[in-house]
């Protein structure tokens, strides 16, 4: 097989722009997903039955439904239900936030329970109120314990972000498709974006390593 990357060379800047879309999408989903995931995890460890029940039910829904189905639903149902003309990026960020939070809330809950209960007791004994105790004492230790799992989740998010191309967002994959159908060359653009995804994932992994090492300072 002959590959002709030179034939798509003028399209490369166009494809590269897709990195921004993909990254924007991934980062927004990761940040919002983490925040919502923390809230869900706090619900799960809460003594208040309604909150606990809600969080458990919520997680089971996203576990039980294919992601691409939720994505399509959010994208097509929002305009009808809320009379809001949702963009593909917004629909993607919302769906991925909701979905990712469902999964990592489980991880975060486990992270919180992995922190020695004595930490909580020491904080209580010092008269530190619950919200501050969670935010400054327990969660930092919990998140540190589950950092590798969180990185894996962001990697999954980055790769799953390619799903937004199905609702028309011009991310990396979508741009590769467009170039492919314009130039009748299929392998070259796909291989090229494949490489880009790979490099991004490796960068993320390396950054996480550095972060982990810095956090290990206190060990």
Partner 1 sequence: MIEVQNLSKSFGKLKVLKDVSLSIKQGEVCAIIGPSGSGKSTLLRCLNLLEQPNQGVIQIKDENITSPKTDIVKIRQNIGMVFQHFYLFPHMTVLENMIYAPMKVKNISKEKAVAKAYDLLKKVGLKEKADVYPSKLSGGQRQRVAIARSLTMEPEIMLFDEPTSALDPEMVKEVLEVIRNLAHTGITMVIVTHEMGFAREVADRICFLDEGKLTENLPPKKFFAKPKTKRAQQFLQKML
Residue numbers at the binding site for partner 1 (CB under 8 A): 116, 118-119, 121-129, 132, 136-137, 140-141, 144, 217-219
Q: Which is nearer to partner 1, 83 or 117 (CB)?
A: 117
Strand stretches in 2-45, DSSP E? none
d(CA 68, CA 165): 11
Cα–Cα distance list, 133 to 7, 43, 51, 61, 109 (Å) = 59, 16, 20, 31, 15
| Element holding 25 (H helix, E strand) | helix 12-44
Rounded least distance, CB 132 to partner 1, Å: 6
Helices (H), strands (E): how many in the chain?
Answer: 10, 0
Q: What span, in angstroms and rounded, lies between the C-alpha atoms of 149 and 61?
A: 21
User: Which residues fall within 8 angstroms of residue 171, CB to CB, at 6 or more apart?
Assistant: 18, 21, 22, 25, 161, 162, 164, 165
Structure tokens at 89: 């990026």
Shortest Å distance, C-beta 109 to partner 1:
19
Considering the complex, what minimum distance in angstroms separates the CB of residue 153 from partner 1?
21
Residue 13 vs 118, nearer CB to partner 1:
118
Spatial CA neighbour of 120 closest among 130, 110, 106: 130
CB closer to partner 1, 71 vs 143: 143
Comparison of 84 and 130: residue with beta carbon closer to partner 1 = 130
Of 64 and 129, nearer to partner 1 (C-beta) is 129
Kindly tell me which of 13 and 129 has the beta carbon lying closer to partner 1: 129
Supply the minimum distance, in Å, between the C-beta of residue 45 and partner 1.
18
- The least CB distance from residue 145 to partner 1, in Å, is 11
As measured in angstroms, the least distance from the Cβ of 150 to partner 1 is: 16
């Amino acid at each position: 097989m002959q590959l002709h990357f030179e034939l798509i060379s003028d399209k490369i800047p166009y494809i590269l722009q897709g990195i921004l879309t993909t990254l924007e999408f991934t980062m927004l989903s990761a940040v919002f997903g983490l925040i919502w995931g923390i809230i869900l995890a706090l619900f799960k460890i809460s003594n208040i039955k309604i909150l606990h029940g809600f969080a458990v039910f919520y997680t089971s829904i996203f576990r039980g439904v294919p992601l691409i189905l939720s994505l399509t639903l959010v994208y097509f149902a929002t305009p009808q239900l809320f009379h809001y003309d949702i963009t593909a990026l917004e629909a993607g960020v919302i769906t991925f936030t909701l979905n990712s939070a469902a999964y990592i809330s489980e991880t975060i809950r486990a992270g919180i329970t992995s922190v020695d209960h004595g930490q909580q007791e020491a904080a209580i004994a010092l008269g530190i109120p619950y919200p501050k105790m969670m935010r400054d004492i327990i969660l930092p230790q919990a998140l540190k314990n589950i950092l590798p799992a969180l990185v894996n989740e962001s990697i999954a998010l980055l790769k799953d972000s390619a799903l937004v191309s199905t609702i028309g967002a011009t991310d990396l994959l979508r741009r590769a498709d467009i170039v492919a159908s314009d130039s009748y060359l299929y392998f070259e653009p796909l291989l090229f974006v494949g490489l880009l995804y790979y490099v991004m994932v490796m960068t993320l992994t390396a950054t996480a390593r550095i972060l982990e090492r810095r956090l290990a300072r206190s060990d």
